Amino acid sequence: MSSARRPGRLPRRYASIEEAFRRMQEENKHLSPTQARHLTEHGVNQNEDGTYSWKFDNYVRGCPPYDMSYADIERLWARITCPTLLVYGKESWASNPEKDGRLEHFKTAKVVEFDGAGHWVHHDRLDAFVDTVRGFIA
């Protein structure tokens, strides 16, 4: 989608919170019903016509929110000197940074993979994620 059309993109409208909740569950199979309900209730706005739409910024669709070439991003990663934790859900749509070569640009990064998690590891495997981050920080 061109950047000129992005602001005018109309978000999908759901007739009810329940319809939006069902969509959240369909798209995020690892979420418990409680998590999906919470994210839905806090992740939608009610439209003027009574329908609901996800809170979403059209400017993040289709291109990164920064104006950097991939080579510049790799140079930026190479300048990071602190220990870095890259978290990867094995069922994510994104690729594994260790297997796709991104890891090699970091000086001290490590990748931790999570079974049974998609792109939202912090939701899909909350306890394991928190334990991992706490161990990393310690």
Q: How far apart are CA 53 and CA 63, in angstroms?
A: 21
Task: With beta carbons less than 8 A apart as the criterion, state whether 114 and 128 touch.
Answer: yes
Q: Tell me the pTM.
A: 0.77
- Closest alpha carbon to 24 in 5, 42, 6: 42
Domain ranges of the chain: 6-60, 70-137
Q: What is the mean pLDDT of residues 5-23?
A: 85
Judged against a pLDDT cut of 50, whether residue 1 lies above it is answered with no
Percentage, residues of the chain above pLDDT 70: 89
Mean pLDDT over each residue of the chain, to the nearest integer: 91
| pLDDT tens by residue, 64-123 | 767 899 999 999 999 999 999 999 999 999 999 999 999 999 999 999 999 999 999 999
- What per-residue confidence (pLDDT) applies to 114? 98
